[in-house]
Amino acid sequence: MARIEERLAVDLRTGAEAEALVEVRARGELARLPWAASLIILALVFVAVFAPLIAPHSPTVQSLPDKLTPPAWQEGGSAKHLLGTDLLGRDMLSRLIYGARVSLTVAASALLAGGGVGLLLGILSGYLGGRVDSFLMRVVDATLTFPTILIALLFAVSLGQGLRTMVIAITLILWARFARVVRGEVLAVKTRDFVSLAKVHGCSHLRIMAVHILPNVTNTFMVLLSLHIGFVILVEASLSFLGAGIAPPTPSWGQMVADGRGHIASAWWLSFIPGAAIMLVVLAFNLFGDWLRDWLDPRLRQT
User: Is the CB of residue 171 less than 8 Å from the CB of residue 117?
Assistant: yes
Burial classification of residue 299, based on how many CB atoms lie within 10 Å of its CB (0-12 exposed, 13-18 middle, 19 or more buried): exposed
CA distance 182 to 210: 14
Q: Which residues contact 190 (CB under 8 A, 6 or more apart)?
A: 126, 127, 213
Regarding predicted confidence, which is higher, 293 or 26? 293
- Examine the pLDDT at 88 and tell me if it is beyond 50: yes
Domain 38-301 has CATH 2.60.40.1180: no
Q: Would you state the pLDDT for residue 1?
A: 52
Q: What is the mean pLDDT of the chain?
A: 82
Instruction: Band the pLDDT of 26: cuts 50, 70, 90.
Output: very low
Q: Would you state the pLDDT for residue 266?
A: 85
Following CA atoms 54, 57, 58, 63 in sequence, which dihedral angle do they give, to the nearest 10 degrees? Answer: -170
User: Is the CB of residue 290 less than 8 Å from the CB of residue 33?
Assistant: no
User: Is the CB of residue 111 less than 8 Å from the CB of residue 174?
Assistant: yes
In 3D space, the residue among 231, 232, 252, 229 whose CA is nearest the CA of residue 240 turns out to be 252
> pLDDT tens digits for 89-131?
899 999 999 999 988 888 899 999 999 999 999 999 998 888 8
Burial classification of residue 247, based on how many CB atoms lie within 10 Å of its CB (0-12 exposed, 13-18 middle, 19 or more buried): middle
Regarding predicted confidence, which is higher, 263 or 30? 263
Q: Would you state the pLDDT for residue 182?
A: 92
Domain map (residue ranges) of the chain: 1-31, 38-301
The pTM of this model reads 0.80
User: Is the CB of residue 71 less than 8 Å from the CB of residue 83?
Assistant: yes
**How many helices (H) does the chain have, and how many strands (E)?**
13, 0
- Examine the pLDDT at 46 and tell me if it is beyond 90: yes
> pLDDT tens digits for 170-207?
888 889 999 999 999 998 888 888 888 888 888 888 88
> pLDDT tens digits for 216-248?
888 888 888 888 888 888 888 888 888 777 778
CA distance 122 to 183: 4
Q: What type of residue sits at position 289?
A: G
- Examine the pLDDT at 21 and tell me if it is beyond 70: no
